[in-house]
Structure 1
Amino acid sequence: MTLAVRAMTQLAGWPDLVEVRPSCGTGRALRSAQSEIVHFHSDQDVDLHLTARAMQRFEGHLKDATAIRMVPGSRWVTIRLEVNTDIELMLTLASLALQAHQTWPVADDMPSAGCNDHRGTALPREHLSGG
């Protein structure tokens, strides 16, 4: 069983998430009543939709996580699942994303241009900080 399948199985059991066809058309997705939350694109790549507020609040932590890739201007973060701790990170961020979408919904906080799967290569954190 791949790490993505294990993560998808865990998230699919969460009562506030249901499986849907991803808006990007690739892979599998889970959504809440408010928004798509996570897209599983491959055995290793997962896109997670955060609100603008959550992105701002946790930007430093996101940039410091080696499993996280960000695309400038996107409200989706890409998580590369390579080890078990990456699943734990993804589950934590999924919980934060779900809470953010439920607690602080913002009308214009829709994902811009879809998830990162069709936006080109996500940038490693060192490129975001200019390093």
Structure 2
Amino acid sequence: MTLASRALAQLATWPDLRQAVPSCGQGQAVSSAKGEIVHFHSERDVDLRLTDRAIRRFAKDLRHTGAIRIVPGSQWVTLRLDAASDVDLLLTLVSVALQAQQTPSDPAERPLVGCNDQRGAGFVKADLGVF
């Protein structure tokens, strides 16, 4: 079982989440009632929608981990799943994302534009479909 499939299986058990087709059309997604939260693009690369406010709040901590890439101008962060601890980090950040969706929108929040797949330089991605 890959780290991504392990994370997806765990998220599938959360009552507020459901598996979905990602709006970018690649891989698999997890959504809440308020929209997409996670896109699994490969066995290792995951995009997570945190919102502008959450990214600003945690940016310093997020930048200190080699597992996360922040793309300027995006409400999504990209996680590289290389170890079991990266899955734990993803699950923690999904909790943050769910909480961020519950707070009123920030007037300065940028409009949601897709995920980070195909945006900016960084990790090499491969569309592996269902894993």
Indicate the TM-score class for this superposition, using the shorter chain for normalisation: 0.7 to 0.9
AA partner of residue 57 (structure 1): R
- Does structure 1 retain, via aligned residues, the 8 Å contact 2:53–2:106? no
- Does structure 2 retain, via aligned residues, the 8 Å contact 1:49–1:111? no
Where do 5+ consecutive residues of structure 2 fail to align? 124-131
- Does structure 2 retain, via aligned residues, the 8 Å contact 1:71–1:122? no
Residues 28-107 of structure 1: matches in 2 within 5 Å?
28-106=28-106
AA partner of residue 45 (structure 2): D
Moved over 6 A (4+): none
Deviations 1:54-113 (A, max 9, x none): 01110111111110011111111000000000000000001100111123345855423x
Deviations 1:19-66 (A, max 9, x none): 110000000001111120000000000000011110111011111111
Instruction: State TM-score, norm by structure 2.
Output: 0.86
Where do 5+ consecutive residues of structure 1 fail to align? 124-131
Give the 3-state SS of the residue equivalent to 1:30 in structure 2: strand
Higher helix residue share? 1
AA partner of residue 94 (structure 1): V
Q: CA deviation at 1:5?
A: 0.2
- Does structure 1 retain, via aligned residues, the 8 Å contact 2:75–2:112? yes
**What percent identity do the matched residue pairs reach?**
57
AA partner of residue 22 (structure 1): P
AA partner of residue 111 (structure 1): L
Q: Which residue of 2 aligns with 1:129?
A: none
- Does structure 2 retain, via aligned residues, the 8 Å contact 1:24–1:118? no
User: Over the residues paired in the alignment, what is the CA RMSD in angstroms?
Assistant: 1.6
Q: Which residue of 1 aligns with 2:127?
A: none
Greater RCO between the two (CA within 8 Å, min separation 6)? 2
AA partner of residue 16 (structure 2): D
- Does structure 1 retain, via aligned residues, the 8 Å contact 2:69–2:78? yes
Q: Which residue of 1 aligns with 2:112?
A: 111
Give the 3-state SS of the residue equivalent to 2:99 in structure 1: helix
Q: Which residue of 1 aligns with 2:128?
A: none
Give the 3-state SS of the residue equivalent to 1:116 in structure 2: coil
